[in-house]
Structure 1
Amino acid sequence: MKERWELMDDSKIVQLYWDRNEQALTATSDKYGNYCITIAKNILGNKEDAEECVNDTYMRAWNSLPPHRPNILSTYLGKITRNLSFNLYKRNTADKRGGGEVPVVLDEIVDLVSDTDDVEKEIDRRELVKAIDDFLGKLPADKRSIFICRYWYFDSISNIASRFGMTNNYVSVLLNRLRLKLHNYLLERGFEI
């Protein structure tokens, strides 16, 4: 009986990478292809570019497993896809092309990030990441999920509303309130905004 890849446990898929078995790529594509395509397409707004990023994600996973052995394969692949998509987005916008949710999402959170020198920037970035993690950890699960859908996965307002059974207006207002709470939370912790 042939084992279904989409049902394969992540640890088995990771082991395929470690064994240098090319079936790892098929198993990854079958189980996480749509997930990665969604991330890339939300950032890039273009199916062809999204597919290119996802193919690059598989190659990057192949080249990095080993030595890495991620605990959560979906998160590992999602992060690779997201980074590759941002890189391609930067190249595309430099060429006056592109689309997707990136400009809208970045406009929403631009006030939460301050511009500093390089050394300070790295230190501030680490502290900022920890503060945002702490803030998100204190939110109810549904609000945290909505925030992450918008600002990590770059989901559109309408997709989030549909997914959570809400109106577009409710999601927009909720995200605005969460950004304001995050803004105040960061100010209270000494971040310059």
Structure 2
Amino acid sequence: MEDHAIIDLYWSRNPEAIQRTGEKYGAYCRAIARNILPDRRDAEECVNDTWLGAWNAMPENRPGLLAPFLGKITRNLAFTRWRAGHTEKRGRGELPLVLDELADCASAEDTLQTLEAAELEEAVNRFLRTLPERECSVFLRRYWFTEPMTDIARRYGMREATVRTSLFRSREKLRRHLEKEGLL
């Protein structure tokens, strides 16, 4: 079923929307949740909460693209659940590493207190559009999907050291981009 048809089901408050969403985007949302929450039950609850979140959000918001809309809901719910558990073992230990890696680019304490989150998000999106496709994909796999570097290396046929170097260089580019835009 096409995304616009699924969105129409949500807007008409048809419960079939949830079934169709699960069929089309269940694996996608589970992958996002599992990268942050390795406990299958927690990840599955997070995905179920995503469908409810989409159901509740749709009357006010009509997403242009359904996959990123659902992915963002899943990711936010997973981070919230992770914070509630607040243990290093969650997310296969990747979440603390990912947040630590990005700390040099944008300190959550300093940057988010002085900026609107939307302004920072737009700046990061502008930065991502400047990256070559593969570099952007590696960056997003690590910092959006919180994938382990070993998985990214395997996915793109790279050595883990190459992934690490690519991510380091991308973070440096992001830091310079944010400084140039006056956000750091």
Q: 1:32 aligned to 1, 22, 25, which one?
A: 25
Looking at structure 2, the residues matched to 69 and 127 of structure 1 have their Cα atoms a distance apart, in angstroms, of 21
Equivalent in the alignment of 1:49: 42
- State which of 98, 101, 109 in structure 2 corresponds to 1:105: 98
Q: How does 1:1-193 map to 2 (within 5 A)?
A: 8-93=1-86, 96=87, 98-100=89-91, 101-114=94-107, 115-116=109-110, 120-123=113-116, 125-192=117-184
The DSSP-based 3-state class of the residue aligned with 2:104 is: helix
Question: Whose radius of gyration is greater, 1 or 2?
Answer: 1
Whether the 8 Å contact between 1:92 and 1:98 is mirrored in structure 2 is no
- 1:45 maps to a residue whose letter is P
How many percent identity over aligned positions?
A: 44
**Alignment: residue pair count:** 181
Question: Counterpart amino acid of 1:20?
Answer: R
Distance of aligned partners of 1:52 and 1:185 in 2 relative to their CA distance in 1, 3 Å threshold: same
TM-score by length of 1: 0.86
1:95-133 C-alpha deviation (Å, 9 max, x unpaired)? x47511211101111122233397x5234x444333222
Alpha-carbon distance change, 117 to 33 in structure 1, aligned in 2, over 3 angstroms: closer
Q: What RMSD over aligned residues (CA atoms) do the two structures have, in Å?
A: 1.9
Cα deviation digits, residues 159-184 of structure 1 (max 9, x gap): 21122121212111111111122222
- TM-score, scaled relative to structure 2: 0.89
Distance 1:126 1:187 in 2: 17
CA contact (8 A) 2:105 2:172 kept: no
Aligned residue identity for 1:99? R
Superposed displacement of residue 18, structure 1? 1.5
Find the residue that maps to 1:116 and give its secondary structure. Answer: helix
Structure 2: tracts of 5 or more residues without a match = none
What do residues 13-49 of structure 1 show as CA deviations (whole Å, max 9, x unaligned)?
A: 1111122221111110110001001111111222111
